Amino acid sequence: MDPRVPVITQDNRRTHSTIICCLNTHMIVSHAHKLIFTHIPKNAGTSIRAWFERWVPDADEIPNLDKHMTPHHVHTRHLDNYTHFAVVRNPYDRLLSQYNFHVERHEQYLKPKSKLRNKEWANEKYNELKQGFSNWLTDPYPIADREAKWYDYRWCPQSLWCTPDTHILKFETLEQDFKWVQDKVGNNVEDAGLQRLNITTSDNDHRTSANRVLLAPHRELILSHLLVDFKRFGYAPDFDRAS
């Protein structure tokens, strides 16, 4: 372990202003509060996981359940009466965020001090991403690739991560919506808000002129895959955010 990275323990987890999230590979749970977090990619999940690690003493990971799995993957009977919650986001914004995240991550991979800068795969992927949002959006998913993730970041609807009983928080109003989680676990600390982690520096707002230009040619394709999310979560497909 890098000695410069603080080790977060049961005793000191609340004293760090910045938390290095260690609960970052499996689905996260609080048994004391019967609460399970469903981590939908690019929806503030890293921030929420870090918050749980800092403020929920019994926060733990569920063995054999990857962090991006859904409630449908949970087959352990003693978890049947637990509450699942998830954060959803405007599908247009989420697509932009995913693309910009991958571009910025691979830019980091290729920096002079990066150990990955001379890796062929890192350079190939970066060159592919630099072909633009349209190329990334329309590139076929490697269905036959056994090493690929079970989901396609772009076209797997957020609804797939949610059951009818999942408690929904919205990314756009997360500061307010997250109070439900704080109340659920009995957290009343005034400064116990979410940190902004694993974010992009790019503007992912679909309402900007530049982003509308990117999205407009693909609107029909996007709606063919993700209309269920617009309808279920109350987002307007006309490039306006839901209130």
Q: Where are the domains of the chain?
A: 26-233
| Distant-in-sequence, close-in-space partners of 238: CB < 8 Å, separation ≥ 6 | none
- Residue 12 three-state SS: coil
- How is residue 98 written in tokens? 């995913």
Please tell me the number of Cα atoms within 13 Å of 3 on its side-chain side.
0
Express each pLDDT in 189-221 by its tens digit. 766 677 777 678 889 999 999 999 999 999 999
Please answer whether residues 54 and 14 qualify as being in contact, where contact means their C-beta atoms are separated by less than 8 angstroms: yes
Which DSSP category does 206 fall into? T
What is the secondary structure of 76-106 as a DSSP string? -GGGTTPEEEEEE--HHHHHHHHHHHHHHHH
CATH of domain 26-233: 3.40.50
Please answer whether residues 93 and 222 qualify as being in contact, where contact means their C-beta atoms are separated by less than 8 angstroms: no
- How is residue 146 written in tokens? 């056994």
Q: How far, in Å, CA of 235 to CA of 227, rounded? A: 9
Identify the pLDDT of residue 212: 94
**pTM, two decimal places:** 0.84
Please answer whether residues 169 and 88 qualify as being in contact, where contact means their C-beta atoms are separated by less than 8 angstroms: yes
User: 2-5: which pairs have CB atoms within 8 A and are 24 or more residues apart?
Assistant: none
pLDDT along the chain (243 residues), means of 10: 36 46 79 96 92 92 90 88 96 96 93 92 93 91 63 88 96 94 84 74 92 95 95 88 46
